[in-house]
Amino acid sequence: MKIHLRHHVPAAAYMTPAEVLQRLRVNARTLYRLMNEGQFPAVRIGRQWRIRPTDFELWLQRQTSDAGAITTPDLARGTRSRQDRITDAACRSQLTGALIEGDVR
């Protein structure tokens, strides 16, 4: 049986999680947690994750522009557990620090 795709997207048009990890320099668990929770733009194809470069760049811009606006009281307002808030704040801090220091390529 042949399957015809309307819009063929070349595999090179997508980034792998390993490529994103090289650019962000964060722990793999952090990236996969963000992808599983829908906080990072990625698509799952079978058992593999793929990221469109344009989605990644937009996400990165949002993170850098929102970084200064997030405060501890803002995180505390949610209904999530304290551990979740601490983990999210630590991840956000790690990403923001890497962006400010120019470690992200």
**Domains of the chain, residue spans:** 12-101
Q: CA angle, 91 as apex, 96 and 37 as ends, to 5°? A: 120
pLDDT exceeds cutoff 90 at 103:
no
The strand pair at 48-50 and 43-45 is best described as antiparallel
What pLDDT does 28 receive?
95
What pLDDT does 9 receive?
56
SS3 13: helix
Q: CA angle, 17 as apex, 74 and 12 as ends, to 5°? A: 125
CA-CA distance, 16 to 23, in Å (whole number)?
Answer: 11
What pLDDT does 71 receive?
45
Alpha-carbon dihedral angle through residues 24, 26, 32, 36, given to the nearest 10 degrees: -70
At residue 10 the predicted structure's pLDDT band, cuts being 50, 70 and 90, is low
What pLDDT does 65 receive?
80
Kindly report the pTM of this predicted structure: 0.54
The 10 Å Cβ neighbour count of residue 59 is 17
Query: What is the tens place of the pLDDT at every residue in 34-86?
Result: 999 999 999 998 999 999 999 999 999 998 886 655 444 444 444 555 555 55
Q: How many CA atoms lie within 13 A of 31 on its CB side?
A: 20
What pLDDT does 13 receive?
85
Domain 12-101 maps to which CATH number in 3.90.1200, 1.10.3470, 1.10.10, 1.10.1660?
A: 1.10.1660
